[in-house]
Amino acid sequence: MATVVVVGFVHYRFEWWWLLALFLVWDLSMIGYGVSAVAGAWTYNVVHSYIGPGLLLAYAIVADQRWAAFVSLVWAFHIAVDRLLGYGLKFTSAFHHTHLGVVGREPPARPSSPTV
């Protein structure tokens, strides 16, 4: 997918460095984790699904809107690189639980209360 995006960038004659400059913008979706794991997983997954960039690219093609093509390609590039790095869609149990497996190491388990 990242390669397809680069081809799209060449087709539209966008400057390649925008892919790097705007790469982390989409990770602002993690702000939902400040509310709860459920809200964080929801906001992260909405932004890290290919549905949004796909619909936006379809609009760009139908309406001949270069700005929409630009945003959708940068967005899809971010998702593709995240997937390559192992960051998948999140489960509500914890940030590091994804549809691709566990990202990083499991945090240590909380000690249980001593039984008397």
Which of the 8 DSSP states describes residue 30?
A: G
- Predicted model pTM: 0.80
Q: Which pLDDT score is estimated for 116?
A: 46
Per-position pLDDT tens, the chain of length 116: 889 989 999 999 999 999 999 999 999 999 998 999 899 999 999 999 999 999 999 999 999 999 999 999 999 999 999 999 888 888 888 777 778 777 766 555 555 545 54
Q: CB under 8 Å to 73, separation ≥6 — which residues?
A: 5, 8, 9, 12, 14, 53, 57
Q: What is the distance between the alpha carbons of residues 59 and 81, in angstroms, rounded to a whole number?
A: 23
Q: What is the distance between the alpha carbons of residues 102 and 100, in angstroms, rounded to a whole number?
A: 7
**10 Å Cβ neighbour count for 82?**
18
Q: Which two tokens stand for residue 47?
A: 């932004």
Q: Which two tokens stand for residue 38?
A: 């459920």
